[in-house]
Amino acid sequence: MDRTVGIDYGRARVGVAVSDPLGIFASPLETVPAAKIIDYLQKYAAAETVVRFVVGYPVNLDGRPSEAQADVDAFLKRLARVFPAVPVTLEDERFTSVLAHKAMIDGGMKKSERRRKESVDRISAAIILQGYLDRTNRNV
C-alpha cells in the first residue's frame, strides 16, 4: 500500500510518521537515532511502498536559514542517494514542537511521557506530515 513518510530530522534523533494508505491521516510511527535513520527507512520501504518523503525544514521566524538547516541538507543528500525515485517535499517545521506538546496535553498524555523527547519527535513528524496531507488533499 502507498505510504507517505513524514520526517522530523534532528542531529541526535529523527521522528518518523506515516500516512494511511489513502493519504488522509498521519500517525506517529517511531523515533530513530539519526545514525540509523537511512537503515530504518530502507527496511520500512522494503515492507511498504513509500511514494513520498515529507521532511521538516528548519527556518527561523524571520524566514532565514536556521542553525539546524545544514544537518537537514546533509540528510536530504543521503536520502536522495538511497531513494532516487522517491520525491521529497520540504515542509516548514516552525512551531511543530510547540504543537506536539499541545497535542500531547490535549490527548491526556502523562507528564512523564511528555518529557520524553522521543515522543515529541515522532509527534512532530506527524504534524509535519499532516500539514502536507491537508494542503495536498485540499488541492485535489
Grid coordinates representing 117 are 523527547
**Which pLDDT does position 102 carry in this prediction?**
56
Domains defined along the chain, listed by start: 2-138 (3.30.420.140)
Type of residue at 37: I
Look at residues 41, 36, 23, 122 and name the one whose alpha carbon lies nearest to residue 83. 41
Residue 40 contacts residue 30 (beta carbons within 8 Å): yes
CA separation for the pair 32, 37 (Å, rounded): 6
Q: What is the pLDDT of residues 22-43, one digit of tens each?
A: 999 999 999 999 999 999 999 9
SS (H, E, C) 123-134: HHHHHHHHHHHH
CA dihedral 129, 130, 135, 140 (to 10 degrees): 100
pLDDT band at 61 (very low <50, low <70, confident <90, very high): confident
Q: Coil, helix or strand for 35?
A: helix
pLDDT band at 68 (very low <50, low <70, confident <90, very high): confident
**Which pLDDT does position 138 carry in this prediction?**
74
pLDDT band at 92 (very low <50, low <70, confident <90, very high): confident
Within a 10 A sphere around the Cβ of 83, how many other Cβ atoms? 17
Q: What is the pLDDT of residues 105-130, one digit of tens each?
A: 555 556 656 555 666 788 889 999 99
